[in-house]
């Protein structure tokens, strides 16, 4: 049994597990503060199936949806797609 802990102590808002690799993507919502007064931000972190950190990305918008693509490995590149609070959908293949 492994545990994934956010360094800043924020609660996990969304979680998604890759069907092809078992990697875990988590979204932490960063609440408004003096440094971040305009709107809530989110941080996307990715960990391996063994809870080893792979990478993270800070979003200036609040992430409201999270999904891994599940194409066969070696045939195509899988991505993480996120939906933002303003209706925009983004994907990133570089974090994994």
Residue 36 has a pLDDT of 53
Residue 38 has a pLDDT of 60
List, for residues 25-81, the tens digit of each pLDDT value.
999 988 776 665 566 789 999 999 999 999 999 998 899 999 999 888 888 888 999
Angle (CA) 38-44-34 rounded to 5° is 25
Burial class (CB in 10 A: 0-12, 13-18, 19+), 72: exposed
- What's the pTM value of the predicted model, to 2 decimals? 0.82
Angle (CA) 21-25-28 rounded to 5° is 170
Q: Residue 90, SS3?
A: strand
């Amino acid at each position: 049994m492994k545990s994934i802990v956010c360094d800043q102590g924020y609660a996990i808002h969304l979680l998604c597990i890759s069907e092809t690799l078992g990697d875990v993507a988590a979204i932490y919502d960063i609440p408004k503060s003096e440094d971040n007064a305009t709107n809530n931000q989110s941080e996307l972190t990715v960990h391996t199936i063994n809870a080893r950190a792979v990478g993270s990305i800070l979003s200036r918008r609040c992430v409201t949806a999270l999904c891994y693509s599940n194409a066969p490995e070696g045939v195509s590149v899988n991505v993480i797609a996120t939906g933002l609070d303003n209706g925009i959908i983004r994907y990133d293949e570089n974090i994994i």
